[in-house]
Amino acid sequence: MPVLIQMMNNETLNKLKAHAVSTTINFVRGFINDEEDDTEDENKKGNKILEKYSTQLFTTLITLLKKGITENHEPLQEEVMNLISIMANIIEKDFAKYYNDLMPMMLEIISVVGMQTMQ
């Protein structure tokens, strides 16, 4: 996680930032798979690992979403929103502290998409 977060923060190309987010999505999904082989203890261990990095990750995702909106880079916006959704399910109640930062940007994206479909 630290390497992926660092890449999201320090990479200069939006395309590579989006790939780092996508890689993180796949990494996180590996922890939350509902396969029959996984025990509840294994899932809890995975969630604890992800919770350890959640603050740093959400801070980065908020910055990336702002960048994606400002630069109108839809692939970055899409990947960031997917990861936010997955992580919100993992951290559950703790997601509330990020809500006020994220919701105005989500509304902005929705309004832009709405205006594009009306044209």
Q: What angle do CA 80, 62, 102 make, to 5 degrees?
A: 90
The 10s digit of each residue's pLDDT in 73-113 is 999 999 999 999 999 988 888 899 999 999 999 898 888 76
Determine the 3-state secondary structure of 34 from DSSP. coil
Q: Distance of alpha carbon 2 from its chain centroid, rounded?
A: 14
- How many independent structural domains does the chain possess? 1
Structural domain including 54 reads: 2-118
| pLDDT tens digits, 103-113 | 999 898 888 76
Mapping DSSP to helix (H, G, I), strand (E, B) and coil, where does residue 75 land? helix
**The pLDDT value given to residue 41:** 65
pTM of the model: 0.85
DSSP 44-68: HHHHHHHHHHHHHHHHHHHHHHHHH
Does residue 44 register a pLDDT over 60?
Answer: yes
**For 35-55, b where at least 16 C-beta lie within 10 A, e where not — what string?**
eeeeeeeeeeebbeebeebbe
Residues in the chain: 119
Task: Please indicate whether residue 28 or residue 117 has the higher confidence score (pLDDT).
Answer: 28
Check residue 109 and give its pLDDT. 86
